[in-house]
A and B are shown apart, each in its own frame.
Chain A
Amino acid sequence: MTRRITDAAHLERLRAELQAARDPARSAIAVCAGTGCVAYGSRKLAAAFRDAVTARRVDVEVRATGCHGFCERGPLVVVFPSRIFYQRVQPADVEEILDRTVAKGEVIDRLLYADPTTGRKYVHEDEVPFYAHQHRLILGFNGKIDPESLDDYVANGGYRALARTLTSMLPEQVIEAVTKAGLRGRGGAGFPTGRKWALCRQALGNPKYVVCNADEGDPGAFMDRSVLEGNPHGVIEGMILGAYAIGAHEGYVYVRNEYPLAVERLSLAVEAARARGLLGNNILGRDFSFDIQITRGAGAFVCGEETALIGSVEGNRGQPRFRPPYPAQSGLWGKPTVINNVETWVNVPLILDRGPDWYAGIGTAGSKGTKIFSLVGKVNNTGLVEVPMGATLRHIVFEIGGGIRDGRAFKAVQTGGPSGGCLPAEKLDLQIDFESLTAAGSMMGSGGMIVMDDRTCMVDVARYFIDFLLEESCGKCVPCREGLTQMSHLLHAITEGRATDETLASLEALAPVVQDASLCALGQTAPNPVLSTIKYFRDEYLAHIRDRRCPAAVCKSLITYTINDKCTGCMVCARQCPEHAITGERKKLHVIDPAKCTRCGICHSVCKFDAVDVR
Chain B
Amino acid sequence: MIVNINGRDLLASPEETLLQVARRNGIPIPTLCEHAGLEPWGGCRLCVVEMTRGGTGPVRVVPSCLQPVEDGLRVETHTPRILRIRAVLLDLLLARTPDARRIQELALEHGVKRTSFVPRRDPDKCILCNICVRACAAVGADALGTAGRGAAGRISLPFGDDASACVGCGACALSCPTGAIEMTDRGSERRIWGRTFQRLPCPSCGAPTLTREHAAHLAGRSGLPAESFGACERCRREQASRLFLDLVGK
A interface residues with partner B (beta carbon < 8 Å):
300, 317, 321-322, 324, 470-479, 481-486, 489, 506, 509-510, 513, 516-519
CB distance from B97 to the nearest CB of A (A): 10
> When each residue 83-105 of chain B gets 1 if its CB lies under 8 Å from chain A and 0 otherwise, what string results?
01100110011011000000000
Question: How far apart sit A470 and B127, CA to CA, in the bound complex (Å)?
Answer: 17
Q: List 22 A-B contacts (CB under 8 A).
A: A317-B145, A321-B42, A322-B42, A324-B68, A470-B150, A474-B149, A475-B149, A475-B153, A476-B128, A477-B44, A477-B45, A478-B43, A478-B92, A478-B93, A482-B151, A484-B151, A486-B118, A513-B85, A516-B48, A517-B45, A517-B85, A519-B43
Q: Which chain A residue shows the least CB distance to B92?
A: A482
Q: Which chain B residue shows the least CB distance to A481?
A: B151
Asked whether B63 is an interface residue with its Cβ less than 8 Å from the other chain, the reply is yes
Contact A478 B149 (CB under 8 A): no
> When each residue 32-58 of chain B gets 1 if its CB lies under 8 Å from chain A and 0 otherwise, what string results?
000000001111111010000000000
Which B residues lie within 8 Å of A317 (CB)? 145-146
Q: Which chain B residue shows the least CB distance to A471?
A: B150
**Known A489-B117, A516-B85; contact A478-B146, beta-carbon cutoff 8 A:** no
Question: How far apart sit A479 and B92, CA to CA, in the bound complex (Å)?
Answer: 8
Contact B151 A470 (CB under 8 A): yes
Question: How far apart sit A473 and B151, CA to CA, in the bound complex (Å)?
Answer: 7
**Known A317-B146, A517-B61; contact A506-B43, beta-carbon cutoff 8 A:** no
CB distance from B41 to the nearest CB of A (A): 8
Question: How far apart sit A470 and B150, CA to CA, in the bound complex (Å)?
Answer: 7
Asked whether B241 is an interface residue with its Cβ less than 8 Å from the other chain, the reply is no
Known: A474-B149, A483-B88, A506-B117. 19 other contacts (CB 8 A): A317-B146, A322-B40, A322-B42, A322-B66, A322-B67, A471-B150, A477-B44, A478-B45, A478-B89, A478-B92, A479-B88, A481-B128, A481-B151, A481-B153, A482-B151, A506-B116, A510-B88, A513-B84, A516-B61
**Known A475-B128, A482-B95; contact A513-B89, beta-carbon cutoff 8 A:** yes
Question: How far apart sit A592 and B85, CA to CA, in the bound complex (Å)?
Answer: 49
**Known A321-B42, A473-B150; contact A486-B95, beta-carbon cutoff 8 A:** yes
**Total of A-B residue pairs, C-beta within 8 Å:** 92
Q: Tell which of A481, A483, A486, A513 has the most Cβ of chain B within 10 Å.
A: A513
If over half of A's interface residues share one DSSP class (helix, strand or loop), that class is named, otherwise mixed; here it is helix
Asked whether B81 is an interface residue with its Cβ less than 8 Å from the other chain, the reply is yes
CB distance from A208 to the nearest CB of B (A): 22
What 7 A-B pairs come out closest when comparing CB atoms? A482-B92, A475-B150, A473-B150, A322-B66, A475-B153, A513-B88, A489-B118
Contact A486 B43 (CB under 8 A): no
Q: Which chain A residue shows the least CB distance to B62?
A: A322
Contact B89 A517 (CB under 8 A): yes
CB distance from A496 to the nearest CB of B (A): 13
Which B residues lie within 8 Å of A484 (CB)? 151
Which B residues lie within 8 Å of A478 (CB)? 43-46, 89, 92-93, 127
Contact B89 A475 (CB under 8 A): no
Contact A479 B150 (CB under 8 A): no
Question: How far apart sit A513 and B152, CA to CA, in the bound complex (Å)?
Answer: 21
Question: How far apart sit A324 and B81, CA to CA, in the bound complex (Å)?
Answer: 23
Question: How far apart sit A475 and B40, CA to CA, in the bound complex (Å)?
Answer: 16
Q: Tell which of B43, B61, B118, B153 has the most Cβ of chain A within 10 Å.
A: B43
CB distance from B146 to the nearest CB of A (A): 7
